[in-house]
Structure 1
Amino acid sequence: MTAKTLEQIENQFEMFQILNENGEVVNKDAMPDLSDEDLQELMYRMVYTRIWDQRAISLNRQGRLGFYAPVAGQEASMLGSQYALEEKDWILPGYRDVPQIVWHGLPLYQAFLFSRGHFKGGQMPDGLNVLMPQIIIGAQIVQTAGVALGLKKKKTDSIAITYTGDGGASQGDFYEGMNFAGAYNAPAVFVVQNNQFAISVPVEMQSAAETIAQKAVAAGINGIQVDGMDPLAVYVATKEARENALNGNGPTLIETMCYRYGPHTMAGDDPTRYRTEDMNDEWEKRDPLIRFRKFLEEKNLWSEEKENEIVEQAKEDIKAAIKEADDTPKQKVTDFIDIMYEELPANLQEQMDEYRAKESK
């Protein structure tokens, strides 16, 4: 491939945007057909999730949660895409993508149990088309290709969507999953939330490609780069990707350009070691909540009073969800054995009897 050909490919992936950072519509033709109630609901979810994120960080520091990956800054990417889905669609999340599956129907208390490593946090309610968040980087991408192929073979009118970060796009599973889905024309959508760093490694050190979106070309599938701080742009891109998949036009790779304001996880990462104050300041100007709030206020659809009500509701809901998580019986060794087997082999029956005796004391 010549440098000129490569440049032509890269130029195809200009960032798609509807709202600029001042909340102004810069692409009227692309505006989605969303009602005022839909727009308010989307903002409601973003505000609620920001409060939930702040509270989860505090709970983690108190030792009341286990593993937690902050989401502030990525609300538009996460919730704008989930809002474009139908209840029948399948979500295969990464470990940061808990908000999408909660808004898809997972009870909040179970999200807290997942963070604590409790097995009930991974027991999805009947009828909820969600897989447990994947800890292995990129593994969910191959799984999504398989789920999507299964949906196609069953002739359903639903898709499978998955999420990873820019670091996940450097994994072998990323290429294998997209290639498989493309080869079988499976109804899959692959979302890469490019928050600029794979833990501490900047995206420009992970690949020589100008965009992650252009990697779709090698797999022969659709690709688009989106302003991930713009919930309307993310919604439109996801909705079109879903429709394309269902119409037999193949999978789509969506790269959302966003930023996580907090650390990679609460397990000791210090973002001040690899991010500058200037970079933080620049991305804070693009905050999805500020941007969308300005847009809604201009349409007389939002107010400080309305937002404060949501903040208080979120705090009360989180308090109740934590209590429900606290009230869930502690997991036991016998639970793990019992939920894995319908009929126990002799060696495990011996262990079951042994641990039952210990637990009864």
Structure 2
Amino acid sequence: MGNILRCFKGEDSGGDHYPYYKPTSRPHYPPPPPAAPARHQQPLGPHGVTPSTVGVAALAHDLLNFESTSMVPDGLSQHVASSRKAQVKWYKNMLEAYKNTTPPPKTPVDASHLIARALHMIQRSDLEGILEFYNFPIPSLPTSSSNHQPSSLPEGVQFVLNTLPVYDKCIGDGDGFTAYVSTTDPRESANVPLEVHEMVIARTQARQCRDYQSADALLSSLDEAGYKIISCSDDEVLARKYRIRMRGIDAPELKMPYGKESRNALVKLIGGKSVKIYVYDLDQFGRYVGDIYCNNVFIQEQMLKNGHAWHFKTYDKRPEFARWEREAKSANRGLWASGNPEKPWDWRRDQRNARQEAIQVY
């Protein structure tokens, strides 16, 4: 009885016979949780906007700021490839569209469609970049708009090549090939050297005289001069040879894993077809570096999206290229199916080092 009384009074007898009677061992009930927001209602952010509409508010703020300062957001250039001058034009169009929209967009979907309508003439990659900048969904657009070649000459392009159909055997790997441009092309016709014209005439005369040995020798001389006589239907065309390096991507070398698959993918895209090449530069190996389009399809985009090449970040910073590579990698397409494929620039470095070591040993 004494023990029971001590337990009720909270006295400790030195033992623990009835711990559940101690005041300190009473069940602890946590405070009730805060009331949940009403169904379908999102908590308001610091500016009175919900998380899903913060991009809409940011767009309105940026357009208002642009109207007064003519300045575009600083971070936009990390998402698009076009120049700041082009971005200013975009915001002029978006501001005009925003003012003409009643009521103004209230959801990300509404804002996404407004931007798509205002900027329907820009490249798909830039449109996707600006939508990504505001975290807006990408609306359904015609597939061709993603791959449509530029309507005007892009900034930095030195000249454009319109080639004859590309031979399969002239495609070396997944990022390079040899192309031929007819000398009837206005750009080429004025630049054919006199000695090339003379060799063509001499070859024709040799063939008429059935001096095929001399004719073949003249063909070799033409090839050394960078020209080739190509049979097209029932005619022969004098064409200039161009070695092409695809800008912004790096494909596996033929001796690397997935090297042949990458080349075959490029063959399927351009083999036997004429291509348009926007030439930006000439590299250290004498190759013309450019963007390739075939039947309005941007070839680098297809190679990256399908996992046939890497984005060559060292030489090309276009954000859409990085995005297309991420898309292929996340889907385990092409070379990414192997998990951790060796990068071609690492492979080439190792090959160079091995050759140097072999020379030193020798």
TM-score normalized by structure 2?
0.22
Q: Which has the higher strand share?
A: 2
TM-score, scaled relative to structure 1: 0.22
Bigger radius of gyration = 2
